[in-house]
């Protein structure tokens, strides 16, 4: 039994908040998520009760912080099924992808090598690769899609079509259409061709069981703020031997064993060699609390509940006149739609006036218009605390909005 009321009671942002004088209905969870009291409290405790730096100080407080940071690394490793030393703290998914680009790709790619992407990728899984191409002479190619989806067959075709694919990088679940890829099979194909496979887990790790070892991908990236954790913290999970071989990205205190006046630097082993400077300790502690919170509900329960919500919303939306849905067959809590003849941003503005938060535009996936043949969509995205009542309010306002817009345009 999914205990929705109990879950909702743990979120201050779900406690009588309003927007435009109306009860807030937050349906922009693919962008970021609310934080439960336990996460807020964990951060507050760090600032109130045991503030100190990490990096092995000689006094108890510092030792405690070191232990906490290491404990969260262990929690993340258990959550994603990696080794503890395969977890690198980053400021988020975007920094994790940049770390792979600059730490791995920059020193391993050369002119005419190929990075395989899709037209559905977020800017954060596109632009770092463009930059690497500028710096190395490599180039990006895009996998063909099958009915808007990345399939194993199309990936195989791409390997036949393009020589020298060295990196394949796709979102595990797309942030506009919510399609999940068969990451395990794609990793296998990439490895058969001596390429590495990067999995952008920003939209999967918070929602579906994502098993690093079982998928056998080379890297997974994700952000805490999309899974009830704080902003400014995330993780790169990488196979240890690859992390060890990667070049340094950020350098400074905390990532080296020693250096001398001849400019010789001995870095620490992975993951610490990538963690220069004072880490976002409060963020890390909040990240750990977020993982505890998700574990207390169970990631499979969360996913099943989101599917139930999506089915519920779709069955209602299908009855709304003039609403086009672009991803009816997506098994996720993301629905991308438009009202015929109405610009997405106008629709979102109308919903805003009713207290409903949805996202409109291209959602940072700025080539998506080549996939779904519209310049912009409205995106409603659900999470573990979304209620059917909120979906009712959203759909009722869409229907009423249709009447308002009809009246306006007639």
- Known active-site residue 364: yes
Binding of ligand PLP at residue 93 (CB under 6 A)? yes
Of 82, 108, 169, 203, which one interacts with ligand PLP (CB under 6 A)? 203
User: CA 247 to CA 224: how far, in whole Å?
Assistant: 25
Tell me the closest approach of the beta carbon of residue 202 to ligand PLP, in angstroms.
3
What the block records as the tokens of 87 is 């977890």
Binding of ligand PLP at residue 202 (CB under 6 A)? yes
DSSP assignment of 199-212 equals EE-TTTTTTS---H
Complex with ligand PLP: residue 200 or 347, whichever CB lies closer? 200
Complex with ligand PLP: residue 342 or 368, whichever CB lies closer? 368
Residue (of 99, 133, 103) closest to 115 by Cα position: 133
Show the beta-strand stretches assigned E in 189-292: 196-200, 219-223, 234-238, 256-259, 265-267
Complex with ligand PLP: residue 159 or 382, whichever CB lies closer? 382
Complex with ligand PLP: residue 181 or 356, whichever CB lies closer? 181
Q: For ligand PLP, which stretch binds (CB under 6 A), given 9-17, 77-85, 91-99, 178-186?
A: 91-99
Binding of ligand PLP at residue 175 (CB under 6 A)? yes
Tell me the closest approach of the beta carbon of residue 93 to ligand PLP, in angstroms.
4
How many chain residues bind ligand PLP (CB under 6 A)? 13
Q: Could you tell me which residues are beta bridge partners of residue 168?
A: 116, 197
Measured torsion, CA atoms of residues 94, 99, 102, 108, in degrees rounded to the nearest 10: -120
Complex with ligand PLP: residue 82 or 203, whichever CB lies closer? 203
User: CA 147 to CA 155: how far, in whole Å?
Assistant: 14
Question: Phi, psi (5° rounding) for residue 368?
Answer: -65, -25
Complex with ligand PLP: residue 124 or 210, whichever CB lies closer? 124
> Which residues between 206 and 245 bind ligand PLP (CB under 6 A)?
223
> Which residues between 241 and 280 bind ligand PLP (CB under 6 A)?
none
User: CA 104 to CA 150: how far, in whole Å?
Assistant: 24
Say if residues 404 and 350 touch (Cβ distance below 8 Å): yes
Sheet architecture: strand order including 87-90: 87-90, 234-238, 219-223, 196-200, 165-171, 114-117, 139-142
Binding of ligand PLP at residue 98 (CB under 6 A)? no
Of 36, 92, 103, 402, which one interacts with ligand PLP (CB under 6 A)? 92
> Which residues between 122 and 141 bind ligand PLP (CB under 6 A)?
122, 124-125
Say if residues 302 and 251 touch (Cβ distance below 8 Å): no
Binding of ligand PLP at residue 28 (CB under 6 A)? no
Provide the binding-site residues for ligand PLP, judged by CB under 6 A.
31, 92-94, 122, 124-125, 171, 175, 200, 202-203, 223
Catalytic residues: 364
């Amino acid at each position: 039994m999914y205990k929705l009321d109990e879950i909702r009671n743990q979120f201050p942002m779900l406690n009588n908040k309003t927007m435009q004088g109306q009860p807030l209905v937050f349906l922009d969870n693919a962008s970021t998520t609310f934080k439960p009291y336990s996460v807020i409290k964990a951060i507050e405790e760090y600032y109130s009760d045991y503030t100190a730096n990490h990096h092995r100080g000689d006094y108890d407080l510092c030792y405690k912080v070191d232990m906490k940071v290491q404990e969260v690394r262990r929690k993340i490793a258990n959550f994603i099924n990696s080794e503890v030393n395969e977890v690198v703290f980053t400021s988020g998914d975007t920094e994790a992808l940049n770390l792979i680009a600059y730490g791995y790709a920059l020193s391993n790619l050369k002119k005419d090598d190929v990075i395989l992407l899709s037209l559905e990728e977020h800017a954060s899984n596109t632009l770092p690769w463009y930059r690497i191409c500028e710096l190395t002479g490599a180039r990006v190619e895009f996998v063909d899609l099958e009915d808007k989806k990345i399939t194993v067959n199309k990936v195989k075709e791409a390997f036949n079509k393009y020589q020298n694919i060295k990196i394949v990088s796709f979102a595990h679940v797309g942030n506009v259409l919510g399609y999940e890829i068969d990451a395990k099979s794609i990793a296998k194909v990439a490895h058969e061709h001596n390429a590495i496979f990067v999995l952008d887990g920003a939209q999967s790790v918070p929602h579906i069981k994502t098993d690093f070892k079982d998928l056998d991908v080379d890297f997974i990236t994700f952000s805490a703020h999309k899974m009830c954790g704080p902003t400014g913290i995330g993780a790169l999970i990488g196979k240890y031997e690859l992390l060890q071989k990667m070049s340094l990205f950020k350098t400074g205190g905390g990532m080296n064993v020693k250096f001398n006046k001849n400019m010789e630097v001995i870095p620490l082993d992975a993951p610490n060699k990538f963690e220069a400077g004072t880490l976002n300790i409060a963020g890390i502690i909040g990240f750990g609390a977020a993982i505890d919170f998700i574990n207390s509900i169970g990631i499979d329960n969360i996913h099943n509940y989101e599917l139930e919500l999506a089915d519920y919303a779709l069955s209602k939306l299908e009855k709304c006149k003039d609403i086009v849905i672009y991803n009816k067959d997506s098994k996720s809590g993301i629905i991308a739609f438009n009202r015929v003849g109405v610009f997405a941003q106008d629709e979102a503005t109308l919903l805003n006036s009713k207290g409903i938060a949805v996202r409109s535009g291209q959602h940072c996936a700025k080539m998506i218009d080549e996939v779904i043949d519209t310049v912009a969509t409205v995106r409603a995205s659900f999470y573990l605390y979304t209620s059917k009542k909120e979906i009712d309010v959203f759909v009722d306002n869409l229907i009423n909005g249709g009447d308002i817009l009809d009246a306006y345009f007639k």
